[in-house]
Amino acid sequence: MSLIAVGVNHEQASLDFLERVTVPEHEWGKVLRTLVSHRNIHEAVFVSTCLRTEVIADIDFFHGAIEDITMTLAEATGVDVAEFHDRLSVHFDRGVVSHLMRVAAGLQSIVPGEFEILGQLRRALDLAEEEHTTGQEMRDLFHRAIATGRRVRTDTAIARGTTSFAYAAVSMANDELGAALRGADVVVVGAGQLATGVVKSLLDTVDGLNRVSVVNRTYERAAALVESLGESRVVARDYGSLVELVGASRLTIVAAEAPTPLLTHDDLAAASGPLLVIDLGIPRAVEADVADLAAVRRLDIGELRSRIERVIDDRRDAVEEARQVVDADVEKFLADRRARGAASIVRDLRAHFDEVVASELERRAADIALFDEDQAELVRSVVRSVVAKLAHRPTIALKESAGTDQGVRLADATRTLFDL
């Protein structure tokens, strides 16, 4: 199994470019099917969030895989393949394991330790399983990465304070509005994990809210969110009332995915009073030019990132502890992987030798029958002992080199030499 991870993220690409290459979740299945249609790609998991669009795959040839994956991303997003070249993040084999575990641990996130990424990785793996584009090795890698992410948040202080986009967005609203939120009406657009986190953070951290209206294209999802909270100040509203509700609110937080903006300049032109809009969407769910309106202030993920970078110094030690946890788990996964890789070829080799011994003893059974039972058992014992000694050194070499380039060559040679 040769692993590769190819994609773009917020560390190498601008938010504008990330917006252009974000793939809606309902199209992930098509991307996965296209990926595994390439002969060079055997398994694939596709992750596309507001801050990363990435493929993790099991491949044959490194450079060919980069080309196949980049072409697939270009086709899925309508972005010219040449625009990816200077923005690609590429990891291979051991680097993929380390990268994925760092992502799961929240070390590659704008908000260190944020927990939404764990759900995103879980959904990406679930979809790959539904599309039959992943096998046991890839599933094991993702399960181990998710487990590492949970352990980092349990065993280190990286999860202290602001640990999600939702909480960070609400903190930013508090910084901007302060006492103006007391008695205010707030609108949350969306009903997914991020929107749920936003509503919970509002209830937990903002005193004296009047009402939180949850608006979603599918009313039933908004109603389910509201029912799960059991809070009288939170109500579900029909999507058709969105513009009216936002215009009368003091704060609107958009936590929804949409191919085109949900709120436009014209929608907000008639806002009845000062309005803060926080857009957590990529692609942007609120047109940027709404900020031209005198009554409207618009903030997005770019501003959120800048603010977080100014306040994470107190978590430097926790980040280092988290890295140590990840490094240890990477080594453990690779050791287990080497052991699994060696086990298969060693098992096949031993089975081959056992078969040769059994076949030869059976072929010479008539000759062995001329001896008495003690002599016959001695002959059998000598044959087995000689074969075991001949198998010992190849077995040790296969185990010690498992998971390395040399190990791959030795395994291939062993299968060829012994017709395994």
Helix 316-363 vs helix 373-401: crossing angle, to nearest 10: 150
Active-site residue (options: 41, 50, 282, 402): 50
CA distances, 181 to each of 43, 164, 202, 247, 299 (Å): 49, 21, 10, 15, 17
Task: Give yes or no for a contact between 15 and 69, defined as CB atoms under 8 angstroms apart.
Answer: no
- DSSP letter at 112? T
Cα–Cα–Cα angle for 28, 31, 33, rounded to 5 degrees: 110
**Contact present, 194 and 165 (Cβ < 8 Å):** yes
CA 245 – CA 262 distance, rounded (Å):
13
Sign of CA dihedral 294, 299, 302, 305: positive
Sheet holding 234-237, edge to edge: 234-237, 211-215, 185-189, 251-254, 275-279, 296-300
DSSP 6: E
Instruction: Please say if 116 is a catalytic residue.
Output: no
Name residue, tokens 């990363």.
52
Catalytically active residues, by annotation: 50
